Structure formats: C-alpha cells, structure tokens
Amino acid sequence: MTARSDFIPLSVCVLTVSDSRSLDNDSSGDYLVQSLSADGHRVAERALLPDDRYAMRALVSKWIADPAVDGILVTGGTGFTGRDSTPEALRPLLDKEMPGFGELFRAISFEEIGTSSLQSRAFAGLANATFVFALPGSTSACTTAWEKIIRQQLDARTRPCNLATIRPRLKE
C-alpha cells in the first residue's frame, strides 16, 4: 500500500478538439502534455479531432474502456459557437458528473477574464473509474485549469483529499 504522502503517477490521455488546429500548432494540447509529464504523470495517448461529437465519443469511449487509463483531459469545443459540441458529446458517457469543477473553474476564470467566464461550459466527471476533464481550447484556460485545480487533484499528496487516492475505490 502506498503511503499517504507518496506521489502516485497516473496515466492520462489528452484530446484536443479543433477544426482549425493541427498537432503542429496545438499549444493547448502541448501545454497539457508538458504539464502532465513535468509533474510525473504518464501521457498514455494524445490525439486531435475535429469538433465531431461521434468521433469524440468513439475515441473517449475507447480510452474510458481501457483499464490502464486513469484520466482524460479534453481541450476545446466547450464554447457556444455552432460547432462547439464537447459537452453534448461527452456528458452522456459520464457515470457521475463533478459539478464543482465547472463551478470552481468559472469562479477562478472570473478573476482573470471577468464576465466572459460565463461562456465557458467546462465540466468534469467520472466514467468507468476514469476522470474526464473538459476544458476550453485556449492555452490560458488550460493553464488556469491545470495550475489552479487539476494539478492538485491528481496529486496524491494534496490534503484533505484528492482524486488520485480515491481512484482505486471508484469501482466499489
């Protein structure tokens, strides 16, 4: 059994949803991959898909079904434009939603971008004991989410509780 103060590396997939980016210019995906790696986590897989809800569902469902994947970070497609469909694509896959993530993200974002934060449909939840975080597509939003919320929750040393240490109990 791992001591409560030990770091537990997690295996995390990163998906960028964009109709205009490629892996060559995906600064948000690059940031998340670099941050996960720098903090000691493993990037299990990285992908970039157009904003197509069925392609998103297919890939994220594959990752959710993989017992080696602990979490998924999705960036993009959480806004209000006609093509933004990440919430509609992925929320049906969740077993449980984590409303506190979206609420906290918008509260922190308000301090940074003011009332524009109300346009964010960032959300998180749990599917088959796999954490799913859906973030806006901007690198600054990914930085806010990682630095101020996700990093600590994926670190088993965060007290009083964190997502890393409860993961083994999620299938109970």
Q: Domain residue spans in the chain?
A: 46-65+82-172
Instruction: Report the 10 Å Cβ neighbour count for 156.
Output: 20
Lowest mean pLDDT, pick from 54-63, 111-120, 141-150: 111-120
pTM for this prediction: 0.94
Buried b (16+ CB within 10 A) or exposed e, 45-76: ebbbbebebeebbebbeebbeeeebbbbbbbb
User: Which homologous superfamily does the CATH classification assign to the domain defined by 46-65+82-172?
Assistant: MoaB/Mog-like domain (3.40.980.10)
Residue that the structure tokens 């060559």 belong to: 24
Report pLDDT digits (tens) over 63-107: 999 999 999 999 998 988 888 999 999 999 999 999 999 999 999
Residues in the chain: 172
